[in-house]
Structure 1
Amino acid sequence: MIRGLYTAASGMFALERKQEALSDNLANAETPGYKKDDTVLRSFPKLFMQRVQDFNENGAATGGTQIPGMAVPIGELTNGVYAQERIPSFSQGAVVETGNALDVAIDDQSIPFQTVNGRQVKPAAFFAVQLPDGTVGYTRNGKWDLDVNGNVVTTDGYRVLGADHQPITITDSISKEDLYIGADGQIVAYPSDPAKTKTVGQIGIAVAQNPLELRRLGGNAYGSDTPLAFIQDGGGANPGVTLQQGYMEQSNVDASQTMTDMMMTVKGYEANQKVISAYDSSLQLLNSVGKING
């Protein structure tokens, strides 16, 4: 009976973690470039139960011969479930037009699938950003602005890195409305005035061959144990990535589906609560049986 309590409790713990992931997804449904997390629930290894020293059944099973210590199968025992991990989904979010000069969306749907460890994996492209501790992070957040020093920054305050792996800085008091960003990431100032036109930078684009190896750092950014190469690096090639100025990639969270999943998770949690309540009532009744003088 106690084992049933543990099984129900494991289900509650797992569903609680799943609900946390769903809540994070819903909270970031409007965050530019956010990638949702899917929670994987797995069962604990099953136990195969047997009886030993069961001479009578052993004798029946072996034509009357009794073998001391021979095991008699009983069946399998399941030990509940657990939330193994949260796996990000790097599917493309909806791309919407904003008209803002420093809104940039990545289109990486043309990147071919790669075979990684015997399975097909879709690589994903990212903008490279400089994190507060000086390390490099990767994000799909293409909603940018200029800070007081002319640095191109994301809504999280991270500085966007250029193809030279250095932060992109717009000098000479050039406003963001005077910038043109090409499909290859080239940033050109005053594109409509030939006398003043000049290239002021190029956006660095990194491609993760297996994006599932990235780890979420918070603030809509990911980290990698091994720095990702830029497609503009020497010897590199563009695998099929283009940028769209004036567009923004939205979160890939489906708010309505997420709310439905949250309600189903709550129902599952309540079902496990009822199982524990039933066990608790049975244990109270068992505790009262055989008491002397009531």
Structure 2
Amino acid sequence: MTKGFYNLTSGVLSQGRRLDVIANNMTNLATAGYKAETYTDRTFQEVLISRVGNKDKSGATVIGEESYILAPDQLYVNYDQGSFKETGLTLDFAIVGDGYFAIQTGDGVEYTRGGSFSLDDQGRLYLSGHGLVLGSDGAPITLSTDEITADGEGRLYTADGYYLGQLGVYAFADNNQLAKAESGLFDANGQQAQPVENAQVMWQYVEESNVDMLQEMSRMMTAQQALQGGAQILKLYDALLTKTTTEVGRL
């Protein structure tokens, strides 16, 4: 009886985590460069085997399988490119194809597809709330003014054509190995960032979030129904266990 109680509890917790991820995706629907996430889970036994080793190493004969509690498996990030939106703002940029802007944060260099920049109080190109934008030479870019122009490779000029610097665009061997940092940007996670040669950068555009609103709504309704159903059955289990312990106590 208690086995079912634990199975239901893990299911309710799992659906709660799934709803948290969906809510985060929907919250960032309008965040430039945001990449949608998908939560997955498996049974505790499957997760344990995948992380520890082969279940058959002991030489024991398996006479049957039984699914127990659910456990978090992985959080997948969809790195597909989002659509482009023209903003007309001189400090907005979008990368076409693979690559990331490099941001010098308080925790080191992190990476993002969001190119909606501003200037800090020293006239340096800045990603609000995160840090300084790094150029192709790996150093912060100082503009001093937002009255600039840019070409298709991210080279920046004053209104009268004076060269100011070039946006750094960096790529990785495997995007799936990147880690989501606490700031919401991506951490290289031990990979070496490589400068993208002849990177294509759109000026006065930003890359929109790749979150599919309809898909997220569908997932949300499915998770909510599963969560509510599990919670209702948990109440029945709780009442049954209470009654059982009460009756046993009388004997």
Per-residue CA deviations over 1:156-176 (Å, capped at 9, x if unaligned) read 2421000110000114xxx32
Are residues 1:79 and 2:68 paired?
A: yes
- Indicate the residue corresponding to 1:230 in structure 2: 195
In the alignment, the residues of structure 1 paired with residue 180 and residue 73 of structure 2 have an alpha-carbon distance, to the nearest angstrom, of 16
Give me the TM-score of the superposition, normalised by structure 2.
0.86
In the alignment, the residues of structure 1 paired with residue 216 and residue 250 of structure 2 have an alpha-carbon distance, to the nearest angstrom, of 54
Q: Determine which of 226, 240, 243 is the counterpart of 1:282.
A: 240
| Distance of aligned partners of 1:292 and 1:247 in 2 relative to their CA distance in 1, 3 Å threshold | closer
Per-residue CA deviations over 1:104-136 (Å, capped at 9, x if unaligned) read 01110xxxxxxxxxxxxxxx4100010024x11
In the alignment, the residues of structure 2 paired with residue 102 and residue 274 of structure 1 have an alpha-carbon distance, to the nearest angstrom, of 52
TM-superposed deviation, 1:209: 2.0
Alignment of 1:1-294 (within 5 A): 1-45=1-45, 73=63, 75-108=64-97, 124-133=98-107, 135-171=108-144, 175-177=145-147, 179-190=148-159, 193=160, 197-224=161-188, 225-231=190-196, 237-238=197-198, 241-289=199-247, 292=250
TM-superposed deviation, 1:261: 1.7
Q: Once structures 1 and 2 are overlaid, which stretch shifts more, 259-268 or 206-215?
A: 259-268
| Distance of aligned partners of 1:218 and 1:250 in 2 relative to their CA distance in 1, 3 Å threshold | farther
Contact kept, 8 Å, 1:18 with 1:83, in 2: the verdict is: no
TM-superposed deviation, 1:139: 0.6
In the alignment, the residues of structure 1 paired with residue 203 and residue 111 of structure 2 have an alpha-carbon distance, to the nearest angstrom, of 19
Identify, as 1 or 2, the structure richer in helix. Answer: 2
| AA at the equivalent of 1:176 | D
Where has structure 1 moved over 6 Å in runs of 4 or more?
A: none
In the alignment, the residues of structure 1 paired with residue 17 and residue 248 of structure 2 have an alpha-carbon distance, to the nearest angstrom, of 41
In the alignment, the residues of structure 2 paired with residue 290 and residue 132 of structure 1 have an alpha-carbon distance, to the nearest angstrom, of 60
Higher CA-based Rg: 1
Ranges in structure 2 where 5+ consecutive residues have no aligned partner: 47-60
- Secondary structure of the 1:256 match is helix
| AA at the equivalent of 1:94 | S
Contact kept, 8 Å, 2:103 with 2:130, in 1: the verdict is: no
Contact kept, 8 Å, 1:26 with 1:255, in 2: the verdict is: yes
Cα RMSD of the aligned pairs, angstroms, is: 2.1
| AA at the equivalent of 1:258 | E
In the alignment, the residues of structure 2 paired with residue 252 and residue 8 of structure 1 have an alpha-carbon distance, to the nearest angstrom, of 33
In the alignment, the residues of structure 1 paired with residue 187 and residue 200 of structure 2 have an alpha-carbon distance, to the nearest angstrom, of 22
In the alignment, the residues of structure 1 paired with residue 103 and residue 112 of structure 2 have an alpha-carbon distance, to the nearest angstrom, of 7
| AA at the equivalent of 2:105 | L
TM-superposed deviation, 1:95: 0.6
